[in-house]
């Protein structure tokens, strides 16, 4: 499959956006200390798209990082210079030969999607062989660029910092797992998935701005409303897949961190720390003490 350089550059962004998706007041950043007995670690909520204007990060992030011996991310960030990995991503996110997105959605939805992407400088015909998860990620990345809200995420920032400081980096899940999750998004409900996303894109900039304000002030009630409740109401199955199942799968891995002498800083998307099914709620239920840093 022949691809433009623009399309290749979007594959990494697509994988990073698996977990993204107001002037609320709160005095604390989205950073917590989790302890049991004499052992403790830190957990911080991140955003995967962070414009340069959001740096420097709230001081609590730096405090936790300085005290930590290692960091733990959701998954290893893909290297955009790794051509083999890039092609593997492209193949995973593409339909089998002969299948196209236009065959999975209505003609009117395809035309509406084409019109929206055209406004972002993207030709949908070039992407017609790709699955909805990748298409939606392209839309999100391009919309963030247009709104001048794109930039290096918190995860990428600390990944680079840890490598520079020779701190160990571990992961809660594999990049292949996240890639599979992205590839399966909207499967069986492609038309609704695309339509819902197009509707959400109408309010993309103000919603992302609200999310950034809520994240920076550590307002988890606002993040619950903006991310969790929206996902629950619009796509219960996706909510289960993206949040509930992954949060549950992470708990044993986080608990295992208390068995060593190191102090970790766990960095996950802020949505995973909000609501009744959050990582923090699950840890509290298991008897861990959770407090703001």
Pair 172, 75: CB distance under 8 Å: yes
170 within domain boundaries: no
- What would the two tokens of residue 67 be? 């005290």
Query: Across the chain, what does the average pLDDT equal?
Result: 89
| 268 backbone dihedrals φ, ψ, rounded to 5° | -135, 160
* Burial grade of 291 (CB within 10 A; 0-12, 13-18, 19 or more): exposed
190 within domain boundaries: yes
Identify the pLDDT of residue 22.
32
Provide the 3-class DSSP secondary structure of residue 39.
Answer: strand
pLDDT band (50, 70, 90) for residue 201: very high
pLDDT band (50, 70, 90) for residue 85: confident
Pair 249, 202: CB distance under 8 Å: no
Q: How far is CA 271 from CA 176, 189, 225, 267, 274, in A?
A: 21, 23, 10, 12, 5
Q: What percent of the chain has pLDDT over 70?
A: 90
Identify the pLDDT of residue 12.
43
Pair 106, 97: CB distance under 8 Å: no
Of 76, 77, 80, residue with least CA distance to 9: 80
Mean pLDDT over residues 178-202, rounded?
93
175 within domain boundaries: no
Identify the pLDDT of residue 82.
77
Mean pLDDT over residues 23-27, rounded?
39
Q: Which residue has the higher pLDDT, 24 or 124?
A: 124
Structural domain count, the chain? 1
Q: Give the tens place of pLDDT for each residue, 263-284.
A: 999 999 999 999 999 999 999 9
pLDDT at 193 exceeding the cut of 50: yes
Identify the pLDDT of residue 183.
94
222 within domain boundaries: yes
Cα torsion angle, 224, 226, 232, 238, sign:
negative
174 within domain boundaries: no
Judged by phi (left if over 0) then psi (alpha if -120 to 50, else beta), residue 148 lies in left
Looking at residue 257, the DSSP 8-state letter turns out to be G
Pair 59, 27: CB distance under 8 Å: no
Q: What angle do CA 142, 144, 147 make, to 5 degrees?
A: 110
171 within domain boundaries: no
Domain that holds residue 32: 5-165+181-292
50 within domain boundaries: yes
Instruction: Out of 36-50, 83-97, 151-165, pick the least confident.
Output: 83-97
81 within domain boundaries: yes
Identify the pLDDT of residue 17.
43
Other CB atoms within 10 Å distance of the CB of residue 205? 15
Pair 136, 122: CB distance under 8 Å: no
Q: Can you name the residues that pair with 121 across neighbouring β-strands?
A: none
pLDDT band (50, 70, 90) for residue 165: very high
pLDDT at 16 exceeding the cut of 50: no
pLDDT at 9 exceeding the cut of 50: no
């Amino acid at each position: 499959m022949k691809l433009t350089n623009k399309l290749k550059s979007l594959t990494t962004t697509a994988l990073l956006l698996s977990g993204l998706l107001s002037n609320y007041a709160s005095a604390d950043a989205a950073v917590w200390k989790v302890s049991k007995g004499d052992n403790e670690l830190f957990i911080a909520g991140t955003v995967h798209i962070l414009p340069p204007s959001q740096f420097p990060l709230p001081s609590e992030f730096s405090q936790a990082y300085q005290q930590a011996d290692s960091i733990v991310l959701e998954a290893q960030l893909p290297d955009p210079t790794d051509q083999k990995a890039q092609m593997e991503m492209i193949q995973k996110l593409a339909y089998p030969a002969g299948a196209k997105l236009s065959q999975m959605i209505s003609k009117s939805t395809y035309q509406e999607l084409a019109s929206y992407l055209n406004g972002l400088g993207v030709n949908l015909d070039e992407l017609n062989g790709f699955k909805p998860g990748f298409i939606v990620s392209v839309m999100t990345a391009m919309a963030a660029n247009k709104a001048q809200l794109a930039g290096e995420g918190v995860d990428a920032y600390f990944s680079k910092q840890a490598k520079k400081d020779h701190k160990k980096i571990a992961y809660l899940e594999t990049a292949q797992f996240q890639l599979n999750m992205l590839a399966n998004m909207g499967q069986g409900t492609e038309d609704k998935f695309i339509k819902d996303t197009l509707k959400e894109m109408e309010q993309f900039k103000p919603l992302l701005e609200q999310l950034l304000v809520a994240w920076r002030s550590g307002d988890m009630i606002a993040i619950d409303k903006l991310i969790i409740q929206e996902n629950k109401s619009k796509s219960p199955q996706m909510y289960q897949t993206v949040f509930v199942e992954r949060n549950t799968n992470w708990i044993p891995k986080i608990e295992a961190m208390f068995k060593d002498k190191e102090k970790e800083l766990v960095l996950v998307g802020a949505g995973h720390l909000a609501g009744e099914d959050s990582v923090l709620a699950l840890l509290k239920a298991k008897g861990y003490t959770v407090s703001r840093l």
